Structure 1
Amino acid sequence: MSRLPNLDRAVVPEAKIVNYLLNARHTGGRAKARFLENFSFRPQDWRILRDAILAHAAANDITALHQTRFGTRYEIDGPLRAPDGRAPIVRVVWFVESQEDAPRLVTLVPRRIVIS
């Protein structure tokens, strides 16, 4: 396939990372937070995860694309470079709303661990 379109305009909100992906008390995000913390991602350094997610999109092809009446959902699987030097395989999900062109981060899902 191809790479995520308009990556230069991608939206990765601080709140999505701090209040969801790296929040061990969030009911829907706590397992993801524990997973990411195992690779040294921390809420106070949320920009490191943001940058890693953007680099993930730049380095990996789209693995699935789903058109809906609201827009297009993109899934990208591949290694996520972590602060501790390892690269777990994750799926990062992006969404581009109809009539828009900027991809917005939806979620990150652990797939498997690769130690490098």
Structure 2
Amino acid sequence: MKLPNYERAVVPQKKITEYLLSLTHRDGSSKAKFFLRFGFSVDAWEVMATALLRHATDHELAKIEESPFGTRYVIEGEMLAPDDRTPFVRSVWFIESGGETPRLVSAYPPD
């Protein structure tokens, strides 16, 4: 099963520039170290957004979790990086209850 409404998925700029690629973010710095190694950069944040959207399009769901606030979707698989390598990445998406648009929550290398 694919991410519902993946064609409408949203990757907010701040999620990338101030979290996933931020070396100074308390929770995001380890993720930034990982993604920066593959050629992703804050200056070209759209490249990472596009890679994450393609990741959601290309792979099946690994996990679905329901909550009173909405549904969390986990996707795992290779993601094409700017340096042409394909690191294995877990991306997490959320659709609010009553909503239809998936929004990126996080992305990181699985344990």
- The TM-score by the shorter chain falls in which range? over 0.9
Which 4+ runs in 1 deviate beyond 6 A?
none
Name the TM-score, length of structure 1 as normaliser.
Answer: 0.93
Residue segments in structure 2 that go unaligned for 5+ positions in a row: none
Residue segments in structure 1 that go unaligned for 5+ positions in a row: none
Partner of 1:109: 108
Partner of 1:4: 3
Partner Cα distance (1:75, 1:92) in 2 = 6
Partner of 2:25: 26
Partner Cα distance (1:31, 1:19) in 2 = 13
Name the TM-score, length of structure 2 as normaliser.
Answer: 0.97
Cα offsets for 1:39-75 (capped at 9, x unmatched): 0000000000000000001100000000111110000
Partner of 1:57: 56
| RMSD of aligned Cα (Å) | 0.9
Count of aligned positions: 111
Which amino acid in the other structure matches residue 13 of structure 1? P
